[in-house]
Amino acid sequence: MPFQFVYSRKDFVTDVHRSSENGLEMAHPPVEFDTTIQTGWTSRMDKGLFRYHLGDLQTRILPGQHGYVAQLNIQRGKERRKPQEILSIQQEFNAKQFNFNKINPEEIIFEMMKDCEGGNENGQLHEPCRMVVLVNVSPLEFGHCLFVPDPSHCFPQVLTRFAIQAGIESVLLSSDPGFRVGFNSLGAFASVNHLHLHGYYLNHELKIESMPVKLLVPEKGFYRMLDFPGGFLFYTESEQVEKVARDICRVTDFLVNGNVAHNLFFTRGCPPCDRIRKEEDHCSRRGVRIAVWPRISCFGAKEESAFNVALCELAGHLPFKNKKDYDDTTEKAVKDIIQRYLLSDAEFDTLEQQLTRNFMDF
């Protein structure tokens, strides 16, 4: 029986900051959530449960305004499981293909259960409340794990409100501003059609943590990111998680219904500019930024030789598959690759208008 990690709102960590020198400032010692993931992940690495041993990755910050974090991870490119054939963003779950009910049970680190303090809000009890956390046997970085909402339900890789809320809460449960969570839809380099999110630690600041934004719908806290790559942004602190998760799900449901592939990235970040009251807010990481990138769908597309454009690449973290590209790439080359997978300006503007109107009408 896996370890049961039971948490409540009281476990959310609110006093997280970055120093003005871009270092990490841990407000207090590591909390149970971090130590459970990190010790469980390390022990399974020591047992040889992974496809390869992940040591310290060669890392460099690319010169330029975006501060891309490039890492060399050749083994992941060679050893990871071959991605499933994906033909549609709404493709049904197929029990004959690999899924997370077929893993070695030893890969499970723990099960997350929220103590709902007298019941869930907004009828959330109709969705599963159990989140299984297991190691990703082809890791991107230290602590790389997968968050799988009750695997026995066999959900396809389409976000639910529960999955979004659990993703946000996982970031809030960590005292490390380097803990990130992300999601790839089908057609956006998801490799398994069984609902899951990624979580991992990256000990480098990303520009998305403080990227400027434009407020689109004040009542929903719905923003447009003003820097490359273009996308939408939500922000929440511990009190508004349920509401923000519901609003994000409204956006992702709209994208799925419109057959628009998408990636999400959840990270500690400063409040959006319209909510910053004083200089120290720029260093605050008490809340979570959730980026949503609509993008061009890739079905059976040839993979890039340097890196695939998925959740972490759009956020500015670039795991390279080979040393030549890692050594030689420039910020411009990275932007050129990413641009190939983004919607055109006209398509993005139309989508922004549709989503804004959708929120206004709700």
The pLDDT of residue 280: 67
Kindly report whether the global pTM for this prediction surpasses the value 0.85: yes
Where is pLDDT greater, at 23 or 315? 315
CB 291 within 8 A of CB 26: no
- Average of per-residue pLDDT values in the chain: 91
The pLDDT of residue 123: 44
Structure tokens, 123: 């009828």
d(CA 267, CA 264): 10
Identity (one letter) of the amino acid at 17? H
User: What domains can you pick out in the chain, each with its CATH number?
Assistant: 4-8+30-116+127-361 (3.30.428.70)
Where is pLDDT greater, at 304 or 52? 52
Compute the 3-state secondary structure of the chain and give helix, strand, coil in percent, each to the nearest 5.
35, 25, 45
Is pLDDT of 58 > 90? yes
Provide the β-strand partners of residue 293. 263
Is pLDDT of 124 > 50? no
Task: List all residues 6 or more positions away from 134 whose beta carbon is below 8 Å from its beta carbon.
Answer: 100, 103, 107, 108, 109, 145, 146, 148
Task: List all residues 6 or more positions away from 45 whose beta carbon is below 8 Å from its beta carbon.
Answer: 53, 54, 135
**How many other β-carbons are positioned within 10 Å of the β-carbon of residue 122?**
11
d(CA 42, CA 180): 18
pLDDT bucket at 148, cuts 50 / 70 / 90:
very high
The pLDDT of residue 242: 96
SS3 for 317?
Answer: strand
d(CA 23, CA 204): 8
Is pLDDT of 25 > 70? no
The pLDDT of residue 196: 98
Q: Which of 144, 194, 196, 262 is catalytic?
A: 196
CB 305 within 8 A of CB 322: yes
- Angle in degrees, CA 43, 47, 53, rounded to 5: 90
**H or E segment and range at residue 268:** strand 261-269
Identity (one letter) of the amino acid at 125? L
Provide the β-strand partners of residue 320. 72
Of all residues in the chain, the percent with pLDDT exceeding 90 is: 79
Annotated catalytic, 196? yes
